[in-house]
Amino acid sequence: MSDDDWQRRSIDEIANVGRRTRRQLRRSEVVVAAIVGVLGMIFFVRMLLVDPDSAGSTTTIDPSPPSFATGLLVGLAVGVVVGLAVGRRKRD
């Protein structure tokens, strides 16, 4: 048996396990995802179309960008959350 056949069979077995154990999405999850997507799209388009000078904001924001350390901490936190979520999944 060649390496390609073994690899293809292994991938097929993994895919079959995924198909068997996948749960169906609930209607509420789909509705919430659609609402969040539409709201995100609306606010993104609004942000692109609105002139910042005419937005009517009276507050001033410090223009200093976030530091590298802040980005690193946010990335680390997201990585830990995703890692824990993947690690806690039920195994076959």
Higher pLDDT, 87 or 62: 87
**10 domain residue, yes or no:** yes
The total number of structural domains that make up the chain: 1
**41 domain residue, yes or no:** yes
Q: Give the tens place of pLDDT for each residue, 34-75.
A: 999 999 999 888 888 876 666 566 666 666 667 778 888 888
pLDDT at 88: 74
Query: Model's pTM, two decimal places?
Result: 0.41
**45 domain residue, yes or no:** yes
**92 domain residue, yes or no:** no
**43 domain residue, yes or no:** yes
Quickly count: other Cβ atoms within 10 Å of residue 8's Cβ.
Answer: 11
Q: What is the dihedral of CA 12, 15, 19, 24, to 10 degrees?
A: -160
**60 domain residue, yes or no:** no
Instruction: Look up the domain containing 72 and give its range.
Output: 3-55+65-87
**48 domain residue, yes or no:** yes
